[in-house]
């Protein structure tokens, strides 16, 4: 069974640009969550999607957005990039109704560097 796939693995962008990250969950998983990891703030929840609906959003500005497609693949977008957006972005998929009742499977992450 293929794991969670995130693309691209590494990305360098300039301040003010926008970026789109992609996540393909494990087949059959309908819950997809996104997390931002930085040395200072640790792992912070961005948003969670289930069957194309955003069920929850973390405390991030509106520049961070996401969506989920009918095949459960998800994308997140960050517009008007700031230096502080440099981070490891992790995607996780879960079976069942969501990430807390069963284990979450994480991708390897996308390392975003904003210069």
Binding part of the chain for other proteins, among 19-27, 54-62, 65-73, 74-82 by CB under 8 A, reads 54-62
Nearest approach in angstroms of CB 16 to other proteins is: 26
Q: Identify residues 55-94 at the interface with other proteins (CB under 8 A).
A: 55-56, 58-59, 88, 90, 92
Which of 55, 57, 53 is CA-nearest to residue 70? 53
Cβ partners under 8 Å of residue 62, min gap 6: none
Choice between 67 and 80, CB closer to other proteins: 67
| Cβ–Cβ < 8 Å for 99, 92 | yes
Phi, psi angles (nearest 5°) of residue 83:
-55, -35
Binding site for other proteins (CB under 8 A): 4, 31, 33, 35, 42-45, 48, 50, 55-56, 58-59, 88, 90, 92, 97-109, 111
């Amino acid at each position: 069974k293929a794991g969670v796939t995130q693309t691209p693995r590494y990305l360098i962008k300039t301040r003010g640009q926008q970026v789109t990250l992609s996540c393909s969950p494990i087949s059959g998983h309908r819950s997809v969550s996104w997390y931002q990891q930085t040395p200072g703030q640790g792992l912070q929840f961005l948003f969670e999607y289930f069957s194309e609906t955003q069920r929850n959003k973390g405390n991030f500005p509106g520049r961070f957005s996401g969506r989920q497609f009918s095949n459960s693949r998800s994308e997140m977008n960050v517009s008007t990039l700031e230096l502080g957006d440099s981070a490891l972005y992790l995607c996780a998929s879960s079976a069942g109704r969501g990430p807390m009742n069963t284990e979450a499977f994480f991708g390897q992450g996308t390392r975003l560097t904003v210069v």
